[in-house]
Amino acid sequence: MRVVLASRNAHKLDELRRILGESVPGLELVGDDGDGPVENGLTFEANALIKARDAAERTGLPAIADDSGICVDVLGGAPGIFSARWAGPGRSDADNLELLRWQLTDVPDEARGAQFVCAAALVVPGGREVAVRGVWPGRIARERAGEGGFGYDPIFVPEGEARSSAELAPAEKDALSHRRRAFEALAPELRALAGG
């Protein structure tokens, strides 16, 4: 069964092929070369559905998409859907991370809870739409650690870990991440679509 991933990110395509390849036999996941729509939803689920609808409409194929970010407890869940542009337009991942670190400067260690959140969506042209959520709990470290991953990974320490997400090997991160949790929750929908 051929499904399009509404993303031009080759790393995400590889990651989702690894994650879904284990649980959805016969899935052929292909990349999307479109520019993508404006993500103006107010939740992770809404943004994931916007992207999946656009890809399904343009390609005529079932489409999957995700939207993710980091939610910090003491900030009322922010940056949330604004994670990628927290420091402002045109700012980098490093700028976003440093702004978040600065905002939490005086927050005690016991109040630095956070979670990575990922919503995964499936849209079938002329048919079913579904969105599910995966959450990866942890806390925000005071200092950056690790060279792997991207975004907020160097300051996110997963629950039960002493290492940051950026210090985990790719296979370790794949096994634990919010993206895995969301797409594993979506896998039964994909298996049903494939008739399995």
- Taking alpha carbons only, the member of 79, 80, 81, 70 closest to residue 149 is 70
C-beta of residue 175 within 8 angstroms of C-beta of residue 158: no
Give backbone dihedrals phi and psi of 18, rounded to 5 degrees, phi first.
-65, -45
Q: Which of 54, 66, 67, 153 is catalytic?
A: 67
Identify the band that residue 9 occupies on the pLDDT scale cut at 50, 70 and 90: confident
- Which are the contacts of 102, defined by CB distance < 8 A and separation ≥ 6? none
The closest of 36, 120, 47 to 81, measured between CA atoms, is 47
* Res. 196: pLDDT tops 60: no
d(CA 9, CA 114): 25
For residue 85, the model assigns a pLDDT of: 93
CA 122 to chain centre: 14
Q: What's the CATH number of domain 2-193, 1.25.60.10, 3.40.718.10, 3.40.640.10, 3.90.950.10?
A: 3.90.950.10
The pLDDT tens digits for 16-58 are 888 888 789 888 999 998 888 999 999 999 999 999 999 999 9
The reported pTM is 0.93
Q: Which of the 8 DSSP states describes residue 10?
A: H
Number of H helices, E strands in the chain: 5, 6
- Output the pLDDT for position 138: 98
67 is catalytic: yes
Proportion of the chain above pLDDT 90, given as a percent: 78
- What is the residue-averaged pLDDT of the chain? 93
CA distance 93 to 67: 16
- Tell me the domain boundaries of the chain: 2-193
Q: Rounded to the nearest 5°, which phi and psi values hold at 171? A: -65, -35
Using a pLDDT cut of 70, give the percent of the chain over it: 99
Cβ(180)–Cβ(134) below 8 Å: yes
Q: What is the pLDDT of residues 132-177, one digit of tens each?
A: 999 999 999 999 999 988 899 999 999 999 999 999 998 899 899 9
Residue 59: pLDDT band by 50, 70, 90 thresholds? very high
Are 114 and 135 contacting, i.e. CB atoms less than 8 angstroms apart?
Answer: no
Model pLDDT for residues 94-110, shown as the tens digit of each residue: 999 999 999 999 999 99
| Distance of alpha carbon 33 from alpha carbon 21, whole angstroms | 21
